Structure 1
Amino acid sequence: MLRLEHISKIYPNNHVLKDVNWEVKPGDRIGLVGVNGAGKSTQLKIITGETQPTTGEVVRPNNFRIAYLTQEFEVNPKRTVREEFWTVFGEANQAQQDLAQLQQEMETAEPEELDRLIKKLDRLQRQFESLDGYALEAQIEKIMPEMGFSLEDGDRLVSSFSGGWQMRMSLGKILLQSPDLLLLDEPTNHIDLETIEWLETYLKGLKTPMVIVSHDREFLDRLCTQMVETERGVSTTYLGNYSAYVQQKAEAQEAQLATYERQQKELEKQQAFIERFRASATRSTQAKSREKQLNKMEWAEAPTANLKKPRFHFPPSPRSGREVVNIQDLVHSYDDKLLFLGANLFIERGDRVAFLGSNGAGKSTLLRLMMGMEKPDEGTIKLGSHNVIPSYFEQNQAEALDRHKTVIETIHDEVPDWKNQEVRTLLGQFLFSGDTVFKQVVDLSGGEKARLALAKMLLRPTNLLLLDEPTNHLDIPAKEMLEEALQEYEGTVAIASHDRYLISKVANKIVEVREGELITYQGDYHYYLGKLEEEKEKKRQEEEAAKKAAKKKKKAAGKKGKSLRS
């Protein structure tokens, strides 16, 4: 269907892609992975033609339709949902708008004007029909419920829907174009878990092949049939989902390392022989022969696993008392929306709590309340009385950095008593080395800002971490660094996140924010999912029992009425 052949892309200061080769076949769901800056989004732009490669070509059939769902959903908040879907069909959309306007004019037109408007109406209706307008209208009415919208929702303004629902609008719009290939760039950014799971299920049901750029490992695991990694400008294809890719890559690196080490030993042995007998009267010919053989050999490269991987360990923290957070009878509103109504929660030392819930449920507000940045309307939120030292990472922490400071100044200002080398050592753990420590924050990428914000927060010893979406903008290696550090952390963690992979690795307790309550599940993420299934099954059985009871009652009433008549 579509093939990238020997693609390279060179920018003035950056050789992003060197040799990229992969293809999309019918039914493929391909995940593109690599560190921030590896060129994943660049490859999508090359596929669409938005960016031209420096060398190489994209081979595809004529009239091949590509739809691209970008990180920023392109919707107009002032339109209704139905109007937003209509924008896909440019000429037909204009015709139906003209028809609607004309019908309004006809309602108030004078009799002498009406005849002219009727003729205009006839002309517009024929134009609308010639553009298959009624068939397009039927397509819109069909796609809306598929995206989860009722027909009544069609008349609501786009602005009245959350980011997750606006993503559904954007997806519906590109599917109305009947694409041959779907490109998705970070589709799970800024949407809640419920919407992510809906998106997974919906995309799995599509026959359209797709290419996905995402740092959401669980999303890639559940959806992808093939992975393409871009590393140091070169692509490698792996069959299977994200977990299969991780395993295959580890096995390939082990095999490559074994070959590399074996060849290095042989190289040392042969070089020692050559050096020893190069000047020998009797064995110099043999030495020269071996040297020629060495020059002709193909040598394995050192495995890319030797590339720097970020690593961090939290500084040792003082031990707190058993009680870390105690929430009792919490009532709180935000922007006139009631978030909590009599909520209760107890967090003790060593808990790693993940707060789950839909966008707007109150997870971020709860962390701010725990930090003391907001005061509850009613009820109490108290930190433990014995030695609880909190630290807070807010969702937009990276954007709150001073844009005009350098990387090294940002850290030095937090720990002025540290020596330069100590600061540089810490920054090196977050992949800031060499001259990059002198870059201004304003010049950093989103991922670099996120890493710097994490480094800044983790400087001082604390025993309670309050983390609000800490993996936003982090690439996969940086996420793994954070996971490993949190797993080793001896303090208490409260984290709000949509990153299911992170939650499953770190959390030992799940708290769902649901309808004003804090519902605690005393187990990890998989335990929580199991309990949700049990709750759904129980609800299904109760509904089934209620239906049977109603049917039985109706039948009994019918018999009673019949006996009375007789």
Structure 2
Amino acid sequence: EAQQVLEQHIGDSLQDLGDILDYLVSVVEESSTDLEESIETLASMLEGAVEEDRAQEISKLIISQYNEANGLSEQKVVRQNQLLDAPVTVEIEKTTAGRDWIKQADQISLVDKEALAKAEKKKKSRQQKKARREELKYIQKMAKEGIEVVGFKRSAPDSSGSRDIKLSNFSISYGRSQLLVDANFSIVYGRKYGLVGRNGSGKSTLLRHISGRELAIPENTSILHVEQEVEGDDTTVLRSVIEADIELVELWEEEKTLMQKDPENIRLPVIFKRLLEIDAETATARAAAILAGLSFTEEMQKQPTKEFSGGWRMRIALARALFCHPDLLLLDEPTNHLDFHAIVWLERFLESWEGTLIIVSHQRDFLNTVCTDITHLNQRQITQYRGNYDAFEKAANEHLKQQKKAYEAQDMQRKHIQSFINRFRANAKRATMVQSRIKKLEKMAEISPMVEEGMVELPFLAPAPLSPPILQFEECSFRYNPDEELLFSNVNLGVDLESRVALVGRNGSGKSTLLKLLTGELQAETGSVYRNSALKFATFSQHFVDQLDLNLSPLEYFLSQYPKLVSQEVRSHLGKYGIEGDTALRSIRTLSGGQKSRVVFAKIAFERPHVLLLDEPSNHLDIETIEGLARSLGTFDGGVLMVSHDQRLIELVCDEIWSLEDSRVTIWDGDMKSYKKHIMTQMP
């Protein structure tokens, strides 16, 4: 019928259109999908033969007559989507191009290549704009519900075919502090960037500016920023992850409604096609696999999110982001709430990630495994390096040496020129030479002196002498409730002033519980814990903020804990831990996580303990501070028992590993590299 209508208005020229005829017919037949779009598409293809106004008129007449013949008046036309049985080919082979497109002497060609290309370009542009409008509706809806923004469509490249992002000459401030000034950041699609720099350099703030689109991010780029934990409610963990994909859930709901009310609806084939494209059939399995990798058991995945602690809800937030797979994923310290098993799984998962990643992490080994590039924030500028963290460190040190040499050479040259000017300034015979030297000095491009980042130290003061034995588990067993299985049983291990022990195991295996048994906060069900009567403990908890009064400044906090001290003495002590100047006078609430950690370490050191019990001490510290902590623990004159998932810190500090597995505490026969291999062999 569509071909008959075309013949009526175009006439004998129709037979010369070749392959394009099928395309013209399809445009007319699909006009019920979008009347305006079909008219414009058809008119664009006829513009080569008639004037633009005439082409529009003919197209409208053709489509109107076709719709009337099929019982679809202009008022009744409904926007619908039709699933084609096969793709419509509009490409013309080179061998037939002459016959189909070259204008014959006695004929008027109604269609040419340029018109077709123009029509296709216009159509594609309209489709992209329409898709973007729909996407924005979803984004606004999610924003109202407090959900992280994930575009309902997997975004396509822009008109240039590129998904790269180039941020040029931008500045970022936090309060009165300038964090970045005229910085540049090139983000190539598919690469994985490690964002590194000292605490307070602006890493987290930069991520927030990117996710909030306060910088020039292309509209078609979907972004997810994992920063806050999921709000707990009655939704199960598994359902919470699946519901993060708004498009998927909307399609499922629409399919369900239409199947119940109108199973013959023309919209259903479109829904089925899209569900197939986004792999909806495997959605539940994929979500469950991600949660399992992050240490959620099958039973835990069925529990409501409100039953989990903040750390576990952060894992749910991470799982939601990994499930949605945005174009640009921003991760701020993703390993902070993970056990070592989950970190190893996440490394493997992100290694095969196909989108773009920007990761802030204090874990050197994690950055080495995952990242293809390192982005360094220093001196309010961004410097980018190819390679992992080890490659960056080597290149940055070499760059520092070269720039230092260049500065010293230029400084020597400047002094030499200035010396000549000073000697002969009053000598008339040398006036020309002096002026030449002055101009040379003025034109010389100034090389700024390199400011080396000083080494961070967290010194621990020597404890009072103490004779062994110090601390000993004797056939200890423990569980929280008589109806539960034992967390561990028959533990026979000890700690002395030379001990450097790492405690490893899955979350929930009893690591923190073991520390509480040592301090006497918990009592063993069977067996006992021997403690030297003169023994002094100091504990760094992973919830270290609870140890601080956030309303006080570091100076005020110390004076409240130690009233006999004077301000100058406290400021001198805090300065050794990088809490100096105005930082010592600001409320602790306004300090970064790393700065708060330093305040706690300053207090611990002041106590002069014999044994340090450290529960995730590297969380919120930058890499340089972790290296400094490792050096300080290496020279500490007391014992160290550390719960940590930081492979690098354990390797630098500890010479013994206690493994909690299958309700037993055993000494691991090997180092962290062999322990990591052991974990990987247990993974599917």
Query: Considering the TM-score relative to the shorter chain, is it more than 0.5?
Result: yes
Matches within 5 A, 1:115-264: 121-123=260-262, 130-132=270-272, 135=276, 137-147=280-290, 149=292, 155-158=302-305, 169-264=316-411
AA of the residue aligned to 1:347? V
2:590 matched to which residue of 1? 443
CA distance in 1, matches of 2:491, 2:346: 31
- The answer to whether the Cα contact below 8 Å between 1:215 and 1:476 also exists between their aligned partners in 2 is yes
SS in 2 for 1:200: helix
2:476 matched to which residue of 1? 330
SS in 1 for 2:609: coil
1:488 matched to which residue of 2? 635
CA distance in 1, matches of 2:388, 2:247: 41
Does 2:621 correspond to 1:474?
Answer: yes
Matches within 5 A, 1:373-522: 373-384=521-532, 388-521=535-668
After the TM superposition, which of the residue ranges 33-42 and 192-201 deviates more from structure 2?
33-42
CA distance in 2, matches of 1:4, 1:475: 25
Does 2:214 correspond to 1:52?
Answer: yes
Q: Render the CA deviation track for 1:477-519: whole Å, top value 9, x for unaligned.
A: 3222211111221221111111222111111111112222211
Taking structure 1 as the reference length, what is the TM-score of the superposition? 0.80
- The answer to whether the Cα contact below 8 Å between 1:73 and 1:167 also exists between their aligned partners in 2 is yes
SS in 2 for 1:334: coil
SS in 2 for 1:243: helix
CA distance in 1, matches of 2:298, 2:608: 54
SS in 2 for 1:380: strand
Does 2:459 correspond to 1:320?
Answer: no
CA distance in 2, matches of 1:227, 1:501: 18
CA distance in 1, matches of 2:269, 2:261: 11
- The answer to whether the Cα contact below 8 Å between 1:28 and 1:209 also exists between their aligned partners in 2 is yes
Pairwise CA distance, 1:51:
4.5
- The answer to whether the Cα contact below 8 Å between 1:510 and 1:528 also exists between their aligned partners in 2 is no
- The answer to whether the Cα contact below 8 Å between 1:507 and 1:524 also exists between their aligned partners in 2 is no
- The answer to whether the Cα contact below 8 Å between 1:222 and 1:241 also exists between their aligned partners in 2 is yes
Q: 1:88 to 1:153 in 2, by over 3 A?
A: same
CA distance in 2, matches of 1:171, 1:390: 35
1:40 matched to which residue of 2? 203
AA of the residue aligned to 1:52? E
Matches within 5 A, 1:341-352: 341-352=489-500
CA distance in 2, matches of 1:18, 1:383: 55
Pairwise CA distance, 1:52:
1.6
* Number of equivalent positions: 511
Pairwise CA distance, 1:282:
4.5
Does 2:210 correspond to 1:64?
Answer: no
Pairwise CA distance, 1:156:
4.6
Q: 1:415 to 1:256 in 2, by over 3 A?
A: farther
Does 2:457 correspond to 1:311?
Answer: yes
1:78 matched to which residue of 2? 234
AA of the residue aligned to 1:483? A
- The answer to whether the Cα contact below 8 Å between 1:317 and 1:463 also exists between their aligned partners in 2 is yes
SS in 2 for 1:182: strand
- The answer to whether the Cα contact below 8 Å between 2:615 and 2:643 also exists between their aligned partners in 1 is yes
SS in 2 for 1:30: strand
**Aligned pair partner of 1:93 in 229, 246, 249:** 249
AA of the residue aligned to 2:338? I
CA distance in 2, matches of 1:163, 1:139: 29
SS in 2 for 1:323: coil
Pairwise CA distance, 1:457:
1.1
1:18 matched to which residue of 2? 181
Pairwise CA distance, 1:222:
0.8
1:27 matched to which residue of 2? 190
- The answer to whether the Cα contact below 8 Å between 2:228 and 2:317 also exists between their aligned partners in 1 is no
Taking structure 2 as the reference length, what is the TM-score of the superposition? 0.68
Q: Render the CA deviation track for 1:380-423: whole Å, top value 9, x for unaligned.
A: 111246x5432222222233212232211222344445443332
1:364 matched to which residue of 2? 512
- The answer to whether the Cα contact below 8 Å between 2:457 and 2:628 also exists between their aligned partners in 1 is yes
- The answer to whether the Cα contact below 8 Å between 1:332 and 1:339 also exists between their aligned partners in 2 is yes
- The answer to whether the Cα contact below 8 Å between 2:290 and 2:322 also exists between their aligned partners in 1 is no
After the TM superposition, which of the residue ranges 389-398 and 88-97 deviates more from structure 2?
88-97
CA distance in 2, matches of 1:348, 1:11: 46
CA distance in 2, matches of 1:475, 1:201: 23
Q: 1:319 to 1:261 in 2, by over 3 A?
A: farther
CA distance in 2, matches of 1:434, 1:30: 33
Identity %: 31
- The answer to whether the Cα contact below 8 Å between 1:228 and 1:236 also exists between their aligned partners in 2 is yes
Q: 1:290 to 1:78 in 2, by over 3 A?
A: same
- The answer to whether the Cα contact below 8 Å between 1:469 and 1:495 also exists between their aligned partners in 2 is yes
The structure with the larger Rg is 2
SS in 2 for 1:342: strand
**Structure 2 stretches lacking a partner, 5+ long:** 1-163
Q: 1:195 to 1:416 in 2, by over 3 A?
A: same
SS in 2 for 1:253: helix
After the TM superposition, which of the residue ranges 223-232 and 368-377 deviates more from structure 2?
368-377
Q: Render the CA deviation track for 1:448-497: whole Å, top value 9, x for unaligned.
A: 21111111111132221111111222222322221111122122111111
Pairwise CA distance, 1:65:
2.7
SS in 1 for 2:329: strand
Q: 1:427 to 1:167 in 2, by over 3 A?
A: closer
After the TM superposition, which of the residue ranges 489-498 and 472-481 deviates more from structure 2?
472-481
CA distance in 2, matches of 1:91, 1:357: 38
Q: 1:173 to 1:315 in 2, by over 3 A?
A: closer
By relative contact order (CA 8 Å, sep 6+), the higher-ranking structure is 1
CA distance in 1, matches of 2:442, 2:492: 73
- The answer to whether the Cα contact below 8 Å between 2:235 and 2:304 also exists between their aligned partners in 1 is yes
AA of the residue aligned to 1:36? N
1:554 matched to which residue of 2? none
After the TM superposition, which of the residue ranges 250-259 and 438-447 deviates more from structure 2?
438-447
SS in 2 for 1:424: helix
**Structure 1 stretches lacking a partner, 5+ long:** 103-118, 541-566
Structure (1 or 2) with the greater strand fraction: 1
CA distance in 2, matches of 1:245, 1:33: 10
Pairwise CA distance, 1:354:
0.7
After superposition, the CA RMSD in angstroms is: 3.3
SS in 1 for 2:637: coil
SS in 1 for 2:392: helix
Q: Render the CA deviation track for 1:217-242: whole Å, top value 9, x for unaligned.
A: 22111110110111122110111101
